[in-house]
Every structure is written in structure tokens, then in C-alpha cells.
């Protein structure tokens, strides 16, 4: 059984996934009475205004805590869950503070508890397929990789405060940076340029990453695209034998449910293109199911390993250093 902290947009996505998986939601904590009432009615679980009170009451009945609270509260709630000796899955980013990330990872390892960041692209069917093609050598020698993610600001005010959210680089751009690191491993150096918004938040970013294996990748992130522009994601892998492109367009915002269109096409040298029509479970459901199985089987998460969590946050910090300095930054 699971307890959820936070009752917003992503929490409801997770809750529906647990329902689909037949996992009982024991309780949810949120400061909003309206949110609690709606959640309780929809998912038939106890609700609390305080995460601390919730865990004091339900700790004996749960195996894991799912943290879906705003980014600036992640550290507090991760520590609270560990205090109650629970496994934790936490929405990205785990924290915008690399010192906290390194310290808390050590604490979870020392307490034999599992900690995983919800990096959903690692479970997204089209991205998973691209990774499979890379591992199978479909592209031949990879010449260039690019990724893009464009979104309007969500409505919640805390997103606009970079001290609370980390800005677009941590809230949006991290998806593509994390997946690129997942694909290609250790980073050699990074360079980034872009613009801040009126709140001094890095919300318009062009990043270049050179990996130790020699592959170069670029990523663009815009967290504040013009009104009514659809949420957009794209990835290209270009090799000397094949090129793949994944494109997604969905709604008009991160928290809208507009009509989606997506396509994954593999272009092969001397052959007809392949249009992939992948039928798969929802990526969020796959992500949660994976972590639940890790807990059940007493197996450390490998798809989102602790080392990879640290690497992603360190890479983001290097990109911020490059944005601020205008220089290439070596990854240590």
C-alpha cells in the first residue's frame, strides 16, 4: 500500500495508475481542504492536512511514500518518509541542491530503503524504442542527437519562483537532459546559452552536451512558450545508417488534456521509412509498477539508479554554471 503527499495534477495521474494496478492508496496529504475532499471521494482513501500526521497514523499500513508535492518541499518530505523507514518515489527533480541529493542517497543506502526519482521518459514507449535501436546498432555511427521540449507555465505560482522550482531548467529541461544522460552515460563537458524570464528564472535554454563516449547532443527547453502554443516534445537521433524522429504535440499546457498527436519514424539508408505504432501501458503506470516491483522483490531500481539521479542533477548544475558564465564547463 502507498501514501501520497500532494494532491495536484501529477498526484491524480499517479493515483489513477495505482488504481489501475490494483494498489491500495492508504492515504493522501494536502493542505487544501477542497483538494482533500475531491481526492477522498475519487479514490476512497483517508486524507490529511499534514504529511507528518498522515505518516504517524498510517505508517504501519504502507510500504512506500509517493511524493507529488512542489519541488521546494521535496527535501522535507523525503526526510520525513525516511524517518518512518519507507521506500520513496519522488517526482523530479529530487532536489535542486546537489549536496542534499548526494547526502540523502547515502542515507537511503545505509538504511536499506529504496529511493527513485520519477523520470518518466525512461518508461515512455517511444523513448524506450529509441534506446533499443541505439543498443541494437540500428543507427550505425551516431553523428548527432537533438531533443526539444516546449511548454507554457503551469498555473501554480510556485513554478514562477526559481528558488522554489529551480526554474524551467529543473522543471522541464531536465526531462531531456536526464534521458540523454540515460542513453549515453558519463558527461565530458557542457555548454549552454539562453535567457531568463522576468523572475530571473532560466526558462529559455539551448544546451550542448559532449559525452565521454564521443557523442554530442543538443537540447532546447522553453518553459513559457506563447499562449495557445501546444505542449511539444521532439527527439532526433542521426547516424550514418539511419535517422529516427519522435514528435509529440499535446493540448495547450502541461496540465491540460487536449488531443495528442505523436509519431515515431525510423528512416533507413536505402530502405522505406518505418512508422512505429507502439501499443503500451501508460508511461506513468509503467514507472510506478516498476518501482512497486522493486520494493516487492527487494531489488534496487536500475532503470533509474541512484548514480544516474546524481549525474542528472550534476549535469543540470553544470549547465546553469555555463549559462551564468558563458563558458564551456567540464563535468567532474
Domain(s) labelled CATH 3.40.50.720 in the chain stretch across 2-118
Give 47's strand partners. 28
C-alpha cell at position 201: 528564472
pLDDT of amino acid 69: 98
pLDDT of amino acid 260: 76
pLDDT of amino acid 261: 84
Residues 226-243: tens digit of each pLDDT: 998 999 999 999 999 999
Produce one character per residue of 82-93: b if its CB has 16 or more CB atoms within 10 Å, e if not.
Answer: bebebbbbbbbb
Residues of the chain with pLDDT under 50: none
pLDDT of amino acid 63: 95
pLDDT of amino acid 157: 87
CB neighbour list of residue 160: distance below 8 Å, 6 or more residues apart: 153, 197, 199, 201
pLDDT of amino acid 28: 99
Please tell us whether the domain made up of 121-285+312-330 is placed in CATH 3.30.360.10.
Answer: yes
Residues 209-219: tens digit of each pLDDT: 999 999 999 99
pLDDT of amino acid 190: 99
pLDDT of amino acid 256: 52
Domain(s) labelled CATH 3.30.360.10 in the chain stretch across 121-285+312-330
Grid cell 558527461 — which residue?
A: 187
pLDDT of amino acid 332: 84
pLDDT of amino acid 156: 84
Whole-angstrom distance, CA of residue 324 vs CA of residue 202: 10
Helices 173-184 and 306-325 cross at an angle (nearest 10°) of 120
Task: Say if residues 68 and 79 touch (Cβ distance below 8 Å).
Answer: no
- Domain spanning 2-118 has what CATH number? 3.40.50.720
pLDDT of amino acid 61: 96
pLDDT of amino acid 251: 75
The model's pTM is 0.95
Q: Mean pLDDT in the chain? A: 95
Give 147's strand partners. 219, 235
Amino acid at each position: 500500500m502507498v501514501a501520497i503527499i500532494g494532491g495536484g495534477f501529477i498526484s491524480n495521474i499517479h493515483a489513477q495508475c495505482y488504481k489501475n494496478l490494483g494498489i491500495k492508496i492508504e492515504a493522501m496529504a494536502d493542505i487544501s481542504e477542497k483538494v482533500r475532499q475531491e481526492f477522498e471521494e475519487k479514490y476512497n482513501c483517508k486524507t490529511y492536512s499534514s504529511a507528518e500526521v498522515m505518516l504517524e497514523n498510517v505508517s504501519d499500513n504502507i510500504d512506500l511514500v509517493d511524493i507529488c508535492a512542489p519541488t521546494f518541499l521535496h527535501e522535507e518530505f523525503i526526510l520525513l518518509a525516511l524517518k518512518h523507514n519507507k521506500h520513496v518515489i519522488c517526482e523530479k527533480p529530487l532536489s535542486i541542491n546537489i549536496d542534499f541529493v548526494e547526502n540523502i542517497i547515502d542515507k537511503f543506502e545505509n538504511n536499506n530503503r529504496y529511493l527513485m526519482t520519477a523520470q518518466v521518459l525512461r518508461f515512455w514507449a517511444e523513448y524506450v524504442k529509441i534506446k533499443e535501436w541505439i543498443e541494437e546498432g540500428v543507427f550505425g555511427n551516431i553523428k548527432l542527437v537533438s531533443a526539444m521540449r516546449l511548454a507554457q507555465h503551469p498555473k501554480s505560482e510556485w513554478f514562477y519562483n526559481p528558488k522554489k522550482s529551480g526554474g524551467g531548467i529543473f522543471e522541464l529541461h531536465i526531462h531531456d537532459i536526464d534521458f540523454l544522460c540515460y542513453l549515453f552515460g558519463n558527461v565530458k563537458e557542457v555548454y549552454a546559452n539562453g535567457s531568463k524570464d522576468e523572475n530571473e528564472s532560466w526558462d529559455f535554454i539551448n544546451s550542448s552536451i559532449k559525452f565521454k563516449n564521443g557523442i554530442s547532443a543538443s537540447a532546447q527547453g522553453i518553459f513559457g512558450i506563447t499562449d495557445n502554443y501546444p505542449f511539444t516534445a521532439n527527439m532526433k537521433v542521426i547516424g550514418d545508417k539511419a535517422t529516427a524522429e519522435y514528435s509529440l504535440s499535446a493540448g495547450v499546457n502541461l496540465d491540460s488534456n487536449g488531443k495528442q498527436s505523436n509519431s515515431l519514424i525510423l528512416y533507413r539508408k536505402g530502405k522505406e521509412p518505418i512508422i512505429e505504432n507502439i501499443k503500451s501501458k501508460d508511461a506513468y503506470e509503467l514507472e510506478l509498477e516498476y518501482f512497486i516491483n522493486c520494493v516487492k522483490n527487494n531489488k534496487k531500481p536500475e532503470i533509474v539508479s541512484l548514480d544516474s539521479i546524481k549525474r542528472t542533477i550534476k549535469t543540470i548544475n553544470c549547465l546553469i554554471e555555463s549559462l551564468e558564465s558563458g563558458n564551456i564547463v567540464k563535468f567532474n
